[in-house]
Amino acid sequence: MQKKLTISIDETIYDGLYRVIGARHISRFIETLVRPHVITEDLDAGYRVMAADEAQEAEALAWAEATIGDLPLDDSQFDKAVWGEVAHVAR
Euclidean distance between CA atoms 82 and 91, whole angstroms: 11
| Number of domain units in the chain | 1
- Whether the pLDDT of residue 20 is over 50: the answer is yes
Smallest CA-to-CA distance from 29 within 16, 41, 11 is with: 16
**Would you say residue 76 lies in a domain?**
yes
- Asked, for residue 57, whether it belongs to a domain, the answer is yes
Q: 74 lies in a domain?
A: yes
- pLDDT tens for residues 47-75? 888 889 999 999 989 988 888 777 666 66
Domain hosting residue 81, numbered range: 41-90
Let me know if residue 18 belongs to a domain: no
For residue 36, is pLDDT > 70? yes
Record the pTM: 0.45
Is 23 domain-assigned? no
